Amino acid sequence: METNWSMDTQVIHSNNHRIQEPLPISQSIVPAVAYAFPSIESAAAVVAGKEEGVYYGRYGNPTLQVLESKIATLEKGEAALGVASGMAAISTALLAFLKKGDHALVTKDVYGGTYSFLSSLAPRFGIDVDFVDCTNEEVIISSIKPTTKVIYIETPSNPSLTVLNISFIAEICNRHKLTLIVDNTLMSPYLQNPLVLGADVVVHSATKYINGHGDVLAGFIVGKKSDIKFMRKTIVGDLGQNLNAWDSSLILRGLKTMALRIQRHCQSAQKIAEFLQAHPAIADVFYPGLPTHPQHELAKSQMKAMGGIVTFEVQGGMEAGKKFVNSLKLAMISFSLGDPETLVQHPATMTHASIPKAEREKFGITDGLIRLSVGLEDADDIINDLKQAILTAQTVTKS
């Protein structure tokens, strides 16, 4: 379009809306904060929700919309909402179904950030929470109060890898008209689909396996269109928890290799879990792929594979465990998981430090527990690193 605009105007407006042909394979990044409309009427219709569209960055953007549609498809849900972190997803999902005076039942071995939110911030909203053993039907049912509105679980749990029967808990929720929210972070949509098993809402820390490269903070909520619309408009938009276009584009890239990455994570984790279980210096190993895991058969029935996290205890307690972790050369000490690099952490002093010691022990998080996020390196190299670290830890214990 030819105009008489000056250079000052042209640098802002020239060729802003050229159609690209052929179309790019990678999704375009649209970092715009605000969007222009042809009329006041069309702008008002979008804001009111009468017409589809985006109007301000806190409520979404075109790059994120593509990503949300992919996540919804992968989780077999009606709609998805992308937010700025896994904790933003967890808190948003809970606040969407809980208000002052309401009660939530939460699985007892839950991620430390979730515990912190529910034990410190939720009470300020007037929300009551009980942490219970969700492997036990009688405990769940007996813990339901007249004010209970939500059952919140993560399966497998972080870091104990307890596997919960999603279908069974969903049946309890249906009978008592409760909302079941499932944190599916450790599995990703590739290995488990809680909505298919009866859950109402799924949350993810996309920072982990969905993105898979350790360079994005993000979270997702998947569920019914009406619920997602409410969260987007009333919670995420107003609290400013939106996921931006740049991070959305990185996750879109990461998703393309999710199948290959997770297959490798799972294969290596199984091999490493079997090695650890056979080693005399390891006191216990928690991995759903081992026949000795208490929910091994359940895991096989609702999970496509057993995941990339292996949790275990080194003989000798806290000091031997610390020496083991500090002696690793390939594995890196870090708070996250699901990266290409093998990451190790000590839950009692790192990710779950916000949980009081007595509560941690109730949840099975002992002082000697170690969580290994198996990376994409050669499994034998990881095992060799574990061997030398175990040997060093044993030397310290014997001396």
The yes-or-no answer on residue 238 being catalytic is no
| From 102, 109, 111, 322, active-site residue | 111
DSSP for residue 375: -
Tokens of 217: 């903070």
Q: How far apart are the C-alpha atoms of 338 and 347, rounded to whole Å?
A: 16
- Please provide residue 72's backbone torsions phi and psi, each rounded to the nearest 5 degrees: -60, -40
Terminus-to-terminus CA distance in the chain, angstroms? 81
Contact status, residue 261 vs residue 376, Cβ threshold 8 Å:
yes
Contact status, residue 380 vs residue 348, Cβ threshold 8 Å:
no
Give 327's Cβ-side CA count (13 Å radius): 20
The yes-or-no answer on residue 208 being catalytic is yes
Q: How far apart are the C-alpha atoms of 142 and 145, rounded to whole Å?
A: 8
Using alpha carbons, list the distances in angstroms from residue 297 to 156, 289, 293, 301.
13, 9, 9, 6
| From 183, 227, 339, 385, active-site residue | 183
| From 109, 115, 190, 208, active-site residue | 208
Helix (H) or strand (E) holding 265: helix 258-278
Rg (CA), the chain: 23
The yes-or-no answer on residue 111 being catalytic is yes
The yes-or-no answer on residue 371 being catalytic is no
| From 56, 58, 70, 130, active-site residue | 58
| Contact residues for 338 (Cβ-Cβ < 8 A; gap 6+) | 207, 208, 209, 211, 212, 214, 265, 308, 373
Residues with a catalytic annotation lie at 58, 111, 183, 208
